[in-house]
Amino acid sequence: MTIRWASGLRSGFNQGFNPLRAGTRGEWLATALALTLLPQLLSAQTMPGTAASQSGASVSRSPSAGSAPPFTAASAPAGYVLNANDAVTVEVFGEEDLRASGRLNPEGNLSVPLLGSIHLAGLTLTQAASKLTELYGRDYLVNPKVNVSLLSYVKRRFSILGQVNRPGSIEMPEGSQSGIDLLEAIALAGGYTRIASPERITVRRHNASGDQIFKVNAKRFTKGSGGGFLVEPGDTITVGESIF
């Protein structure tokens, strides 16, 4: 049977043709052809998508690879005066290489490109920008435009020990950059204890030349009278005990 069927197929002879068998063979040939072409079709459909996804991945990575998170300026009180450990950014318009960010060191200095270590503590942001503008314009740039912005600042605090109701480290009130009155400082600490001696108060202050110690008689002060003693950020107050 197999020989006859093959001979009939080659000569186009239709005698003994079986529609069921022919149909089955046609389906088999179609299936075989589809299986042969399937890998090529799948490859043609997959490669563009893969290339596109790879291209999309590279595009999505490129912005983050070449950019750094921008600094955000801190919100400081009006007329804020720079102090040691404050973080600032210095920008010179049109001179990206001169951009500098950092903290003022314990002496209140900031390292600035070309200029080196510059003392900025004790200046407002506007005053600091004016100082740097003058220094850059003196030897390096023509009509420089300098901006100084505050990134973060250290809260101004003082410490109070001895005969007060709430001894410890206390934050300076807003707007008191240069300091507060001694009696206000004692009030922030809860006032005197019943055995406190207001005439035996010492204030220790650290500065560039070393420690200073002030002996203060607070009994002589009246709050709001214009007299008194100014407590500065970083001071340590000690309220003595009465001697009976």
What mean pLDDT comes out for the span 227-231? 84
Domain ranges of the chain: 87-152, 157-241
Tens digits of residue pLDDT in 170-220:
998 877 767 899 999 999 999 999 999 999 999 999 876 788 999 999 988
| CB of 115 closer than 8 Å to CB of 56 | no
> Which pTM was predicted?
0.51
Q: Which residue has the tokens 């595009």?
A: 59
Report the topology of domain 157-241.
Answer: Outer membrane lipoprotein wza fold like (3.10.560)
Tens digits of residue pLDDT in 5-60:
433 344 344 444 454 444 445 555 555 555 555 555 555 454 444 433 333 333 33
Amino acid at 64: S
Superfamily of domain 87-152: wza like domain (3.30.1950.10)
